[in-house]
Amino acid sequence: MTALGGNALLRENELGTIEEQERNATETVENLVFLIKEGYDLVITHGNGPQVGNILMRNDAGDQIYGIAPMPLDICVADSQGGIGYMIERMLRNVLTRHGIEKNIVTLVNMVVVDPNDPAFQNPTKRIGKVYSKAEAEKLSSEKGWLFKTSTKRSNGFRRVVPSPDPVDIVNKDLIENLVRAGNIVIAAGGGGIPVYYDEKQILRAVDAVIDKDMASSLLASQIGADELYILTDVPFIFKDFGKPTQEKLEFLDYADALKYFQLGTFGEGSMAPKIRACLNFVEKGGRKSVITEAKKLEDKSFGSKITLHYED
């Protein structure tokens, strides 16, 4: 299982043009060729933060300028899954062709089940969409029932916040497992998946929320019996106490040490902690190894820039 970070398509200081995103996607999936040549059966997940944010802003502009009925968050997440999955699939097909590799690749638009009683619904924290003025935020809160918190990007601005519940089940997990074990490359659970839940009549309902991509990737990896989980990000090393005098580079960790550091708050909650949590969950449920690294480091068999979590024999 390989989870691609947001920088797989859109990087800092870029405009987000299709040319930029296709170039970035090509550079990223080029690094996956090593795993394919090594005989790995591959499931690819990906982030969608910048892209779904842009979709929400287009929603907002269409509503305000042309009166086009805006789509709910679950549809926007589905849109981003399809668009990003298609882009990754097309770029990967082109890369494999250059390497003389024949593989079927399939992109799935994936629902992920959450618990409607998850405590996250009582404390929405995930900021999405554009930055609004206080007056705009108050108007939208009154009209749509949206919740807002101050923006981390602009001190006098406000952004909509939604819950980020934990994933509890991956819809179509059996299909994903069957496809990948048959030798196909599967792109699934993009952006953490489309959050849904079952009501008291077992009707599948959508919910305004976002799911952490790495947590969904970890759950999917466990449910399909993956041996290894690779979380690809934009930093070459993992540090404890990053930015502090006690900063220390970490390259190899067993499960016990990783859990100890995590519980001590060593990793930043807004950055590395969710990835560490996802790795711990995967290993705890039987995964052999989980690695956090840059995509370009995958072929470095010494794992010199990787953090590896495993149970001690």
> Which amino acids are annotated catalytic?
6-7, 126, 213, 275
Tokens at 26, concatenated: 């090509």
Helix (H, G, I), strand (E, B) or coil at 219: helix
Token look-up 């060593």 returns 266
Q: Tell me, what amino acid is at 188? A: A
How many helices and strands, by DSSP H and E, does the chain display? 9, 16
Sheet of 307-309: strands edge to edge? Answer: 105-107, 185-187, 43-46, 2-4, 228-233, 289-294, 307-309
Report the distance separating Cα 178 and Cα 183, nearest Å.
Answer: 9
Beta carbons within 10 angstroms of residue 174's beta carbon: 11
- CB of 8 within 8 A of CB of 232? yes
Beta carbons within 10 angstroms of residue 205's beta carbon: 12
Report strand pairing: 204-206 vs 185-187: unpaired
